[in-house]
Amino acid sequence: MSGEPTLEQLIAAARARAGDGDELALLDAVIAVTQNSSARADAAVDQVVRMVRRAGHSWTVIGERLGISRQAARQRYADRVEETPPTVGLIRGRDLDSALAATLEAAEADGLSEAGTEHLLLGLLTDGVAAATLEQLGVTRDKIRETSHRLFDYRVGASAQAPDTAFSAEAQAALHAAEQLATERTPTCAPIVATTPQLLAVIATNPGSRGRRVLNDLGVDLADIKRLLHCYINVPRTALGRRPRRGGKRQQARCSFCGHPRSEERPLVAGPDVWICADCVALCADILRQRAGTTPRA
């Protein structure tokens, strides 16, 4: 009978060696107890690396513990330990993909290994409805950067090498909540697409998030954000995405995008079975100007 320890025994021995330490202490311990083992040693290290990644640590930190570079750590373990099951039926819009890429670049520019929700705000200024909304409220990249550096403890330039940047736990939670919001508010007949309005709404309505603290410091009114995003995040959950008509009773004309009723202050323009108000027309014009590379209206 082979005296080779089982995977469970290797992990147990590592836990005993690490004591009450965190996941990184456990990683150090499992490396130590598997140095002279074979067969299941790699599996034991894989399992602990997976735990370290779940705890939010970057490949840079893991590589340092393993005595290798972050690139080598990622190449060796990423395919074996990363667990990113796709969300069934959900698509990320091009504007959201661009925003997320810009978010990581903003965090790297700050010399950080994690991108927070304040960096998501910077990313949201890249393209789409969220960019037009923030610009309409007077939020700029320079203002976000200045406020973030004042509110949070950034050690800019502390690392000589570019960090292996990942989304912070708060940023990941915001993205997940935005995707859930898109799922809940998409009409049943349409594909589920997560875009920048949902992400901005999630950040703005979370009073504890770093992004919301930045918006508060800049004097941005949450009510204004809700008003400008209303027609993008409050689509009724019906077969056609419209409020059902009841008993043939004539209903008051409302904007088909934001839902506000017609009034002297908010006139409506009629189309084929749709209406649009002046505020939604202005927001659409801002988005089209931005995409065309022209200056948004004041």
Q: Nearest 5 degrees, angle CA 159-CA 165-CA 170? A: 120
**Mean pLDDT of all residues in 239-263:** 58
- Asked whether residue 226 is assigned to any structural domain, the reply reads yes
CATH for 226: 1.10.1780.10
Residue type, 142: D
Q: How far apart are CA 189 and CA 15, in angstroms?
A: 51
Q: Looking at the predicted structure, is the pLDDT value of residue 163 above 60?
A: no
Measured at the CA of 181, the angle between CA 177 and CA 183, to 5 degrees, comes to 115
- Does one domain contain both 298 and 200? no
Residues 193 and 273 in one domain: no
Decide if pLDDT at 157 tops 70.
no
| pLDDT level of residue 190 (50, 70, 90 thresholds) | low
Confidence of residue 203 (pLDDT cuts 50, 70, 90): very high
In a domain, 240, yes or no: no
Give a yes or no: residue 269 inside a domain. Answer: yes
Last residue of a domain, one of 47, 81, 115: 81
Please tell me whether residues 95 and 229 are part of one structural domain: yes
Number of domains in the chain: 3
Judge whether 211 lies within some domain: yes
Say how far apart CA 8 and CA 30 lie, in whole Å.
12
pLDDT at position 252 is: 65
Residue span of the structural domain in which 63 resides: 7-81
The answer to the question of residue 172 being in a domain is yes
The pLDDT score that the predictor gives to residue 242 is 43
Question: Are residues 283 and 251 located together in one domain of the fold?
Answer: yes
